[in-house]
Structure 1
Amino acid sequence: MDTSSTAENPGSGIRSLIEQSVRDFAARELKPNMNQWDEAQFFPKDVFHKLGELGVMGMLVPEEFGGAGLGYDEYVTAIIELSKVDPSIGLSMAAHNSLCTNHILMFGSEEQKKNYLPQLASGKWLGAWGLTEPNTGSDAGNMRTVAVREGDGWLINGSKNFITNGKSGDLTVLIARTGEPGDKHGATAFIIPQGTPGFTAGRKENKLGMRASETVELIFQDCFISDSQRMGEVGDGFIQSLKVLDGGRISIAALGVGTAMGAYEAALAYSKERKQFGKAICDFQAIAFKLADMYTDIQASSLLTYHAAALKDQGEKVTLPSAVAKYHASETAVRVANEAVQIFGGYGFTKDYPVEKFYRDSKLCTIGEGTSEIQKMVISKEILRD
């Protein structure tokens, strides 16, 4: 059974069109190249220019700023379809859209939106978002990258790590500390174009999975920027980031759903073709029950993800539903990919079949944009509020 009908909701005609166009794009542009990219850890930046031409690099951006003017429902659909073929591309597309571009959309000035959103939405520019640091991880409130007032601008020193699109990105939204460590109002957001003196990309990570998605260190050494590059009020950067991450977790939930779907569909097809003891292995209850559990988990994750997307489109607070969707979908991706490898048996342990890659890629979903443990902290805090 094709999982494209997951989350039995007819959605909009636009969703169906996006689903088919992105699926065709993934089959044409990603599938023939994904193994080579994975082996070489090659970041195919030209693919994102083509995705821009397809209209999915500015899905959440209003038409007045050069975007598609769509919502999270359609955006989730695009991530799922990309991730069913190559989760690496889904990840980089999501970081561009929901972190960098969306931060500017939500908190940038009118001038900043006019200057940067059309380039990002068209795919001519690729965006990155810098919050995580080597020594802080989830403890972002104690970041060590510092921005200090100097004349009519800011002098930035420090480093960020695990930054998606960090080296090839044309623009980075940076969160730097401008106050005391641990102060919720002690950080500020800045827009820093590539090529700004004092801003360089450092080491590229050698990763287990998502190897075609670029993950690098960012280094700031006496990097001076004008105050016009500051986004929002001084001290609002961390609060802004939490709101951006609420939407970002929906992106990672969609990434998890797509990764799980890709692994499930590969395992389902293989189980019908692989013969043992005179019959297809899907006819054995041990395999059939695995497929049933995989399908059920994907259905639940997809419904949770589209539910969070719908609430986001309605302007509702999504801290709880986005954390629930991200937690469930990311853990589902790991379980489903694991079972897919098991169904393939020895062949699942080789690079001749796609489930080995889904298995490696899936783990990132439980780590990026807040670990599963952080999601449980968010969920428990929300449900225990008085």
Structure 2
Amino acid sequence: MQTFVNGINYILDLGPTVILPITMLIVGLIFGTGFKTAFKSGITIGIGFVGINLVIGLLTDNLGTAAQAMVERFGLSLNVIDAGWPAAAAASWAMPISVLLIPVCLVVNLLMIVFKMTKTLDVDIWNYWHFIAAGATGYIVTGGSVWFAVVCAVLYEMVVLVIADKTQPLAENFFGLEGISLPTGSTAAYALLGIPIGKVVGMIPGIKNLNADPESIQKRFGIFGEPMMVGLILGTVIGLLAGYDVGGAFQVGIAMGAVMLLMPRMVKILMEGLIPISEAAREFMKKRFPGRDLFIGLDAALAVGHPAVMSTALLLTPITLLIAVLLPGNRVLPFGDLATITFYVAFIVASRKGNIIQSVITTAIILVFSLWMATDFAEIHTAMMANADFTAPGNITEISSLDMGGNFLNWLILKFAQLYQSIIG
């Protein structure tokens, strides 16, 4: 058994850029593409994700460092640190139930497809950490109940897959991801609140008629409205807010302009590898299940490079810090997840048809609740991080995150687990 566990952990440690090509090779063979096509597609997809991760790394390194400098410059002092999704993911994989939950979640996904409960085949194994985090929440609250942890993970997964189906038209029509859905746990959770709230925001007089999508901005401002120029301008402003000198601020601006320009091109490479497998999956379903379709579920990283998504996220970086300081009852200092707001706003932006102003307002409203939820989640989040030998820095007493602790679905799992524990005593 230990050998099996070690083998699983070894594969997981290779990361998504290795796991995804292997998974897609297997999926391609199952759907009858032939080894040559499946192998080439898998490698191309892996290369595309390497490119995407490089660009996200560029975003995180520059924007994350600037956000940290902003926190220090304005002397923000809140006693719960937002450790960010990488720490939450690492803690999830470190939980003793993680090896059990991976095959369970795979089987649940397949059963949901068979029984027509979802059209999404979630091959993004790395992002199963969101499901495992939900399971870990139940596991910690109940003092180590394995079966309850499985229930929590499966409930979370089922809801995410349903949301992925419902938002697939947005992925296809707005982001151009034909036959693709995005079952990333945090992206789905923020969509659940963001899409209906965004509709209300879109009805507000004076706001509903504002055309602030990238195309309108580019048409009005010419070269300065192009995505890379918007990234340059917003990045430079963030650098100045962080207290950088003009040269340092301009470096952040150049990096954000590069993200705006490079991300869509990296996604295009990945899609080149994905199209043959996606088409084969559709043909497979048509032959064996007439009238049914199948979506390939992938990481929401495919959507974060859209100019409207990036612009919205950049504007929200200082706004999130301002909300955190002014919000009564909040104890969370936004930090690690400031650079990954792009993942949270993807479907909000898509549902607002790229309207940046409406998307910023909508997400700002959600972040109020997200910070409260992250504060409420701090005790359990801290216990989970301690299991992975992660300790809070300096005078920080607890750990949370916008991705996991401020995630509406995970917060509901927390309340469900606490209710169950109160009943059984």
- TM category (shorter chain) comes to under 0.3
Which structure is higher in strand share?
1
Q: TM-score with structure 1 length normalisation? A: 0.25
Q: TM-score with structure 2 length normalisation? A: 0.23
Which structure is higher in helix share?
2
